[in-house]
Chain A
Amino acid sequence: MNKGLPKWADVLLIPVLSLLLALFVSGLVVLFIGRDPIEAVKVMVQGAFGKYGIGYTLYYTTNFIFTGLAVAVAFHARLFNIGGEGQAGLGGVGVALVLLSFNWPNWVVALIAASIGAAIFGAAWAAIPAYLQAKRGSHIVITTIMFNLIGSALINYLLVGPMQAPGMVPETPGFPEAAALPTLHDVFAVFGIAFDKNAPANVSIFIALAALVFVYILIWKTRIGYEIRAFGHSEKAAVYAGISPLKITMIAMLVSGALAGLMAINTVMGEAERLVLDSVQGAGFVGIAVALMGRSHPVGVLLAAFLFGILYQGGGELSFAMGIPREMIVVIQALVIMFTGSLENIVRMPVEKLFLRFNKGGA
């Protein structure tokens, strides 16, 4: 694949150049709708890093770490899980069921239980598409998209039916107060650091960071991880080596779904403290861009999730300050997926040529 390309160019130079290209084209889109792209960048950066912004930026980052890892783990087995949106939504149902079923005395126990609930529900929602892919060869891209739509219908049903709080609003009752997660404000206050009190960022971010480590160990340091990567490289070779496609597909997708589901502890438990309609808000899809940009590696996912956190929070500011609709973020997301994913060779081919010439000159 990479003829004579040094590793740093492969993992750093090409993604960064691709990203810059994507952002440049995004700037052209801003220009097309008659706004000043430079001004837009300023507004976004100020919005994302300002005193009130950073707490939101980190909150979004937490979401995208989970969904990005979800897509990344599946990518290692060469499975394209577009179902993060539905899996995270169902994770929210899991969180709500756990937290509403019991009057939790303190948040640590509640968090552990809710995380398990979120992971199980997320994994369950990924299980059927995974099984159908492995057993019947049903295209996992289409089935996971269908499961997003089915999941959203199911949650709609639950929130106006069995799980609805008394009243007309389609949401569950609020969770027990003792189960409320400490925000980053509370955490930093312990160390005497001031942090915005109203920001939604909460202790879930530490679980997200732990998930990054977990995925690193799982993929690169365990037998299962080796099998997942072997399967992703060549299904034929993996089968020849005695690796079961059914087992790997199921494990990769269950882990993927569980990670996506875990996002709900940040949004449903940490922020809303009840299950509301559309709690995922596209974060499942952002995970695709995050995983592609981050090369499916935890470090890359962390950086890409932070970048998208900035884009999301800054994008919100864009609509306030400049009247550019929030959908601008979806466009940026699309361009990032394009340039770091399918159009990657636009950057890679010339860079490879350059290195080839350079190496010849040096030798």
Chain B
Amino acid sequence: MELLQLMDSAVRLATPLLLAALAGLYSERSGIFDIGLEGKMLIAAFTAGAFSGIAGMPIAEGGWGWTYGMAWFGLFTAIIASVLLSLIHGFASITLRGNQLISGVAVNFFAAGTTVLIGQEWFRAGGQTPSLRGAQRFEPITLPFADAVSEVPVIGPVYADLISGHNIVVYIAILAVPLTWWILFRTRFGLRLRAVGENPGAVDTAGISVVKQRYAAVVIAGILCGLAGAYLSLGTSAAGFVKDMSAGKGFIALAALIFAKWQPRGVLFAALLFGFLEAIGNKYQSVDIGAFVIPVQFMQALPYILTVVILAGFVGKAIPPKAGGEPYVKER
């Protein structure tokens, strides 16, 4: 039962990592490094929280008095905000051929600053957005027959507690994995996307625009980060935006991506692994192993430590897309 609970919260915690790591997958497969996943998630979380909050606020209090669809509206605005940041990153790294790492870092700071700045200006609550209720959030969905089968041993609880009862974004994230695989490995678009990340010169020779292909990848990354961010503020128990709520998840997602060797299926497992570790860290605040007590701070730092361990390559060699990080200069 305890394990089931852990796995359940692992799925919840893995969702933003999964979406962000898939965002990184599209971007990096096309040859654009994206350190800015973190910032895009953060700005999306803020926008989603702010607009869902305003839309659902009663007219008397200065809101728009909506009664349904606020969460979807919040998601929509989150995706727009995240894609805008993606386009800035794209403009810097594709059109201007600037340094992609620096651009990503700038995006992160920009998001960290503006979310609090604008949040304080709009809501005057130290950068928080109003706390969200009802249709302002994505509420858990009970899958069909969940109650009926919950009495069946083993399969019942797994279906009722682990598989059912998440919000829509969790299911979108999981479905995004096979979809991404299909797009990248079974469509012409995906083949071209991977090709510009490996050998842009060849793609260019074939008469396909490297620039367009990379912009497309960067925009998809923006959409996925928008989903990840909206999930943070609308789909978790935070029920609103809190300052710096992405808390390094964008970077952990990058590590998950490397761990997954830039493969969609691997990304799913890596995200679940990190989610599981975070769930353990949350559940067992300090662990007494007899001789001494592992302090709570260590448990909190565990996902970060694991990220380093994984990057250290104790899991085998990960070969990144060949043209990653390199601006493409057309030959004349």
A residues adjacent to B (C-beta < 8 A): 29, 32-34, 80, 82, 128-129, 132, 136-139, 141-143, 145-147, 149-150, 153-154, 156-157, 161, 285, 288, 292, 324-325, 327-335, 337-338, 341-346, 349
Q: Which residue of B lies closest to A26 (CB)?
A: B113
Number of interface residues of B (CB under 8 A): 45
Q: Is there contact, CB below 8 Å, between A327 and B101?
A: no
Q: Is there contact, CB below 8 Å, between B297 and A156?
A: yes
Q: Is B248 an interface residue (CB 8 A)?
A: yes
Known: A138-B313, A333-B109. A147 touches B308 (CB 8 A): yes
Interface 1/0 per residue, B88-103 and A, CB below 8 Å: 1001110011111111
List, in ascending order, chain B residues with CB within 8 A of A153's CB: 297-298, 300-301, 304
List, in ascending order, chain B residues with CB within 8 A of A344's CB: 96, 98
Q: Is there contact, CB below 8 Å, between B312 and A136?
A: yes
Q: Is there contact, CB below 8 Å, between A139 and B311?
A: yes
Q: Is there contact, CB below 8 Å, between A288 and B105?
A: yes
Q: Which residue of B lies closest to A327 (CB)?
A: B116
List, in ascending order, chain A residues with CB within 8 A of B251's CB: 142, 145-146
- Give the CA-CA distance A119 to B117 in the complex, in Å: 35
List, in ascending order, chain B residues with CB within 8 A of A33's CB: 117-118, 121
Residues of B78-126 at the interface with A, using a CB-CB cut-off of 8 Å, are 88, 91-93, 96-103, 105-110, 112-114, 116-118, 120-121
List, in ascending order, chain B residues with CB within 8 A of A143's CB: 308, 311
Q: Which residue of B lies closest to A345 (CB)?
A: B96
15 extra A-B contacts, CB within 8 A, seeds A334-B106, A342-B102: A80-B101, A132-B311, A138-B311, A138-B312, A141-B101, A143-B308, A150-B308, A327-B120, A328-B113, A330-B113, A330-B116, A338-B106, A338-B110, A341-B105, A343-B98
- Give the CA-CA distance A129 to B251 in the complex, in Å: 15
Q: Is there contact, CB below 8 Å, between A82 and B105?
A: yes
Q: Is there contact, CB below 8 Å, between B110 and A335?
A: yes
Can you spell out 14 A-B residue pairs with CB atoms less than 8 angstroms apart?
A: A141-B35, A146-B248, A150-B308, A153-B298, A157-B297, A325-B116, A325-B117, A337-B109, A341-B99, A341-B106, A342-B98, A342-B99, A342-B103, A343-B98
List, in ascending order, chain A residues with CB within 8 A of B116's CB: 325, 327, 330
- Give the CA-CA distance A145 to B311 in the complex, in Å: 12
- Give the CA-CA distance A337 to B39 in the complex, in Å: 14
Q: Is B127 an interface residue (CB 8 A)?
A: yes
Among B92, B105, B251, B304, find the residue whose CB has the most chain A CB atoms closer than 10 A.
Answer: B105
List, in ascending order, chain B residues with CB within 8 A of A338's CB: 88, 92, 103, 106, 110
Please give the distance in Å from A327's CB to the nearest CB on chain B.
4
Please give the distance in Å from B245's CB to the nearest CB on chain A.
14
- Give the CA-CA distance A349 to B113 in the complex, in Å: 29
The 8 closest A-B pairs by CB, nearest first: A330-B113, A342-B103, A334-B109, A331-B113, A342-B98, A334-B110, A153-B301, A341-B102
- Give the CA-CA distance A333 to B311 in the complex, in Å: 29
Please give the distance in Å from B23's CB to the nearest CB on chain A.
15
- Give the CA-CA distance A128 to B113 in the complex, in Å: 30
Q: Is there contact, CB below 8 Å, between A330 and B295?
A: no
Interface 1/0 per residue, B283-314 and A, CB below 8 Å: 00000000000010110110011011001110
- Give the CA-CA distance A334 to B113 in the complex, in Å: 8
Please give the distance in Å from B258's CB to the nearest CB on chain A.
7
List, in ascending order, chain B residues with CB within 8 A of A335's CB: 106, 110
Q: Which residue of B lies closest to A151 (CB)?
A: B301
List, in ascending order, chain A residues with CB within 8 A of B311's CB: 132, 136, 138-139, 142-143, 146
Please give the distance in Å from A299's CB to the nearest CB on chain B.
21
Q: Is B170 an interface residue (CB 8 A)?
A: no
Q: Which residue of A lies closest to B258 (CB)?
A: A139
Please give the distance in Å from A211's CB to the nearest CB on chain B.
23
List, in ascending order, chain A residues with CB within 8 A of B127's CB: 325, 327
List, in ascending order, chain A residues with CB within 8 A of B307's CB: 142, 146
Q: Which residue of A lies closest to B319 (CB)?
A: A137
Q: Is B255 an interface residue (CB 8 A)?
A: yes
Q: Is B219 an interface residue (CB 8 A)?
A: no
Q: Is there contact, CB below 8 Å, between A150 and B105?
A: no
Q: Is there contact, CB below 8 Å, between B297 and A346?
A: no
Q: Is B45 an interface residue (CB 8 A)?
A: no
Q: Is there contact, CB below 8 Å, between A325 and B120?
A: yes
Q: Is there contact, CB below 8 Å, between A149 and B304?
A: yes
Please give the distance in Å from B266's CB to the nearest CB on chain A.
17
Please give the distance in Å from A94's CB to the nearest CB on chain B.
19
Q: Which residue of B lies closest to A129 (CB)?
A: B308
Please give the distance in Å from B247's CB to the nearest CB on chain A.
8
- Give the CA-CA distance A136 to B326 in the complex, in Å: 21
Q: Is there contact, CB below 8 Å, between A342 and B92?
A: yes
B112's partner among A139, A156, A330 (CB-CB below 8 A) is A330
Q: Is there contact, CB below 8 Å, between A142 and B254?
A: yes
List, in ascending order, chain B residues with CB within 8 A of A337's CB: 102, 105-106, 109
Known: A141-B101, A331-B117. A342 touches B308 (CB 8 A): no
Q: Is there contact, CB below 8 Å, between A292 and B102?
A: yes
Q: Is there contact, CB below 8 Å, between B308 and A138?
A: yes
- Give the CA-CA distance A143 to B106 in the complex, in Å: 18
List, in ascending order, chain A residues with CB within 8 A of B96's CB: 342-346, 349
List, in ascending order, chain A residues with CB within 8 A of B121's CB: 33-34, 325
Please give the distance in Å from A32's CB to the nearest CB on chain B.
8
- Give the CA-CA distance A142 to B109 in the complex, in Å: 15
Q: Is there contact, CB below 8 Å, between B110 and A331?
A: yes
Q: Which residue of A lies closest to B248 (CB)?
A: A149
- Give the CA-CA distance A335 to B113 in the complex, in Å: 10
- Give the CA-CA distance A283 to B300 in the complex, in Å: 24
Please give the distance in Å from A55's CB to the nearest CB on chain B.
26
List, in ascending order, chain B residues with CB within 8 A of A334's CB: 106-110, 112-113
List, in ascending order, chain B residues with CB within 8 A of A29's CB: 114, 117
- Give the CA-CA distance A160 to B118 in the complex, in Å: 34
List, in ascending order, chain A residues with CB within 8 A of B92's CB: 338, 342-343
Q: Which residue of A lies closest to B110 (CB)?
A: A334
Q: Which residue of B lies closest to A333 (CB)?
A: B109
Q: Is there contact, CB below 8 Å, between A145 and B301?
A: no
